[in-house]
Amino acid sequence: MPTPFPVVLGHEGTGVVETVGSSVTGFRPGDRVVASLSFCGTCKNCLKGLPSYCPQQYPLNFGAQRADGSVGLRDGSGEPVHDHFFGQSSFAGYGLCRPHSLIKVPDSAEPDHVLAPLGCGVITGAGAVWNVLRVTPGSTVAVLGAGAVGLSAVMAASAAGAARIIVSDVHPSRLNLATQLGATDLVDATAGDTVEQLSLVSRRETSPECVDLVMVVRDSLAIALPHLERRGITLNQQMDGPVYTVGRRDSLGQVVLNLVFNAADACEAAGRPEVWVKVLSRGEQLALVVEDNGRGFDTRTAPSPDSFGLSGIRERTAACGGSVVVDAAPDRGTRIDIALPAHGARMAGVL
């Protein structure tokens, strides 16, 4: 962290405005405020409502100084002390804050220690669930760590309608609180390998549910997209919908991810870094098609069918009550046909 010393730290503060500068508008002495991160307010990201992606985010929040390089504090000897950390330096009785860093709150009975985490922990956890993961009703969410950020993610996932919210922590008291805030499954991180425990919990049998295949695919592609972009692979989408099938949302989502990543490997090996993902509704049939710009993947450059992670795909499809058929042909590549028991619906992937 590029923060110079000496410095007054503190990043989750709340208090009452004591005085305002001559150019400040929107605040007056006596206003109760929560302090949060600082941002420029004029760049493209700030104007789009994405202040955490402000290009000046690091210097304004962790440079511990004003934008012009000056500081607002001095020690007893008159030497400068860095401030404005995270827009506030709230580990002190008084703080100098930029107006962008402050949010007025009603003068309610809520104590300061309840309001203070809103400035960082709450918006980090809830923002990750709502704005990055974009959790939708019926989703499964895992939260590792039940502190302020993790518990905020739990509450946000519950508000978003997540069907299962799995929480892992080392403190029983935090796990107990997580259940009060919406967690459905708990993992004691001191009782063994956390990843293995999460895997076992996520595979527990649940009753079949009707899910929108288009929504499952789009959510999965949102996860895959940044990884493919870093590899220079273009991801194109064509979706009819909504189209419904029966199965566990998390299992179907993992099938989609397996197909897409394996398709990307085959495209990359063939020198054609472009993957098409289509969901087509054909009467009583649903088709999930993953293809290389309208063609099956070249089996001379693509890995063998058995290397496409079919064991995992078979396992997850079976958990949804479906079956997998592999059909290979030199002229069009390898086709993975996944049949699901949803009014005769079928899900197909071309590899």
pLDDT tens-digit readout, 48-61 = 888 888 989 899 99
Do residues 176 and 232 share a domain?
no
Do residues 229 and 280 share a domain?
yes
Helix (H, G, I), strand (E, B) or coil at 194: helix
Do residues 46 and 111 share a domain?
yes
Do residues 141 and 214 share a domain?
no
| Residue bearing the bigger pLDDT, 246 or 122 | 122
Residue 7 within any structural domain of the chain: no
pLDDT tens-digit readout, 189-230 = 898 877 777 767 765 544 445 566 677 777 788 878 888 888
Sign, Cα dihedral of 235, 240, 244, 245: negative
Residue 1 within any structural domain of the chain: no
Residue 4 within any structural domain of the chain: no
Compute φ and ψ for 14, nearest 5 degrees: -145, 155
Residue 22 within any structural domain of the chain: yes
Of the given ranges (90-94, 184-188, 230-234, 284-288), which has the lowest mean pLDDT?
284-288
Residue 168 within any structural domain of the chain: yes
Do residues 245 and 144 share a domain?
no
Residue pair 219/139 in contact (Cβ under 8 Å)? The answer is yes
Q: Of 82, 101, 116, which one is at a domain's C-terminal end?
A: 116
Do residues 66 and 146 share a domain?
no
Residue 150 within any structural domain of the chain: yes
CA pair distance 145, 28, nearest whole angstrom: 39
Do residues 191 and 215 share a domain?
no
| Residue bearing the bigger pLDDT, 292 or 315 | 315
Of the given ranges (69-78, 107-116, 214-223, 287-296), which has the lowest mean pLDDT?
287-296
Q: How many domains does the chain have?
A: 3
Do residues 292 and 306 share a domain?
yes
Do residues 232 and 317 share a domain?
yes
Is the pLDDT assigned to residue 46 strictly greater than 50? yes
Q: Provide the CATH number for the domain around residue 24.
A: 3.90.180.10
Burial label, 12 (beta-carbon count in 10 A; 0-12, 13-18, 19+): buried
Residue pair 154/143 in contact (Cβ under 8 Å)? The answer is yes
Do residues 52 and 126 share a domain?
no
CA pair distance 92, 281, nearest whole angstrom: 61
Do residues 106 and 232 share a domain?
no
Is the pLDDT assigned to residue 4 strictly greater than 90? yes
Do residues 178 and 290 share a domain?
no
Residue 86 within any structural domain of the chain: yes
Q: Provide the CATH number for the domain around residue 223.
A: 3.30.565.10
Per DSSP, the residues of 4-26 read -SSB----SEEEE-----TT--S
Q: Of 169, 202, 235, which one is at a domain's C-terminal end?
A: 202
Range of the domain at 157: 122-202
Q: Of 154, 181, 202, which one is at a domain's C-terminal end?
A: 202
Global pTM? 0.58
Residue 60 within any structural domain of the chain: yes
Angular region, 176: left φ>0, alpha ψ -120 to 50, beta rest: alpha
